[in-house]
A and B are shown apart, each in its own frame.
Chain A
């Protein structure tokens, strides 16, 4: 029984991972085009003369790092949930059409030329959020037309809706003016600029609340990994668990997408990496994936800021370049532990 996950072990690992996250956040906030010192930052805003270190830290670096944490955690946890619900190691947060729905929303907003804001959010973000949630609802609706939750039906519905919306996006891109297209494509590649703390706090609240709720149903997700019928015989309320898990995962992904565009790889690789090292138990997989996702995206975003400074890379490029090789190393090292590789 020694090898089993215990509350003590879980708390120790989560707290250790959180400490690593805080350390990474601190280090990453100090480096960039302009290096700043922590000592100067703690001197405060300055009364007579401005304190540039403090300003850079509070106004630019901190919001960006908090945003990266938020998005990384949301995507990683959502990936864990979709992989469990669909019992498919290839599932990621975008598998059921969230990406194309958000993209379609974004491009519609750009083409219509809206210029209002909601809580400081541009129409692109608002439309992307609505597009993402609308698409998930549509896929869920189509997938359930057979009368019950059917993994294959849901995946097929996701693929079809994804393909259809991608075609519509391409059509709209072809008829739009080039400047409009550029801003949409840039947005879709993933960006990490957010100055408004209110939006960040609201986003954080949604994501952290969602992850806590998902943790609460993680034993049920364990059972669901064995299939619906098996999970039912283990006393799991199938319909309730599926709807709650699906809705929360879709909602936190939509929040992430509307804040930062589409960032690939995090939602697919982080859950697998954590599973390879710590095992498939969702009670541990979920919180650790959230924290590791946050660490991963903070580092990736810092690299995106500094690699070709003063210009910036889209963070999605860095996540793929950084994540791919790192994941392969893990795979080679731990592959004997993974049954789906055999």
Chain B
């Protein structure tokens, strides 16, 4: 399968003096589920903003579907890459269906209205995310998990091959976290979407993602399968925390334990 996102020698800094991302190169093949993990301040959200064209690289290139990202007009780029940002409540009370329909804005006719195809796509997105039941409710009246599903529905309705998500499960309880990851995995498997999600949950990433991009301090990075990228040494090096390691079928799992944790004594070199 060909690469849908190609990043070559990418560098970025918010000021000329400091550089958050330095000389990063990787490829994401179409239909892959990639997680971006790493400590706070490592540049995960910055990378996501670069991949969706909200920021411009200091140097290096980003290609989406073999064309440089800067060659896309905003409407065309929205047709390639859809973004789900961290959950928030908009000021004015748009309903769920109005929100999802906005993803079709680039395809509206001259007078700013949707056609039958747009409506069909929106209905499918609502059904896929199980949000059709509250389609007419205002976004502000939903719970965090429901709202996040609506924003994913909007990203699906854009009908773009790539979905970028910034910590899609950060405020959700366990049931909703699993629900969101199942939903994303389903979009990958059923619709062939390429999914790039920032996450702090390395266990979830290991279970659901095909590849992991682990950003570390000082612009270091590792990309590969979970079993290669997530080693106890690597996690301790990148996050500065020791973890208890267990294994569950094909993937390992990690429980970070600080020195006052009840079972911190369980972390021995044997486990590492």
Contacts and interface: CB of A to CB of B under 8 A. Distances in A.
Interface string B90-106: 11111101110111011
B81 A223 contact: no
Contacts of A232: 52-54, 74, 78
B85 A225 contact: no
B171 interface: no
Given A236-B74, A279-B95, A339-B140, A225 B90 contact: yes
A47 to B, nearest CB: 48
Contact of B81 (A83, A84, A233, A280): A233
* Tier of interface size on chain B: 35 or more
Given A235-B106, A237-B74, A340-B93, A219 B112 contact: yes
A234 B85 contact: no
B116 to A, nearest CB: 10
Contacts, number: 119
B141 interface: yes
Nearest to B119: A1
Contacts of A226: 90, 99, 102
Given A1-B123, A280-B92, A339-B141, A234 B78 contact: yes
B158 interface: yes
A89 interface: yes
A342 B73 CA distance: 38
B75 interface: yes
Contact of A225 (B49, B53, B91, B108): B91
B89 interface: yes
Interface stretch (A3-11, A131-139, A203-211): A3-11
Contacts of A337: 93, 138
Interface string B52-78: 111000000000000000000111111
A275 interface: yes
B260 interface: no
B204 interface: no
B79 interface: yes
25 contacts: A1-B119, A1-B123, A3-B97, A4-B97, A89-B91, A216-B112, A229-B49, A229-B85, A232-B52, A233-B52, A233-B54, A233-B81, A233-B158, A234-B78, A234-B154, A235-B75, A238-B74, A279-B93, A280-B92, A280-B98, A281-B98, A337-B93, A337-B138, A339-B89, A339-B92
Interface of A: 1, 3-4, 6-7, 83-84, 87-89, 215-216, 218-220, 222-223, 225-227, 229-230, 232-238, 275, 279-281, 283, 337-340, 342
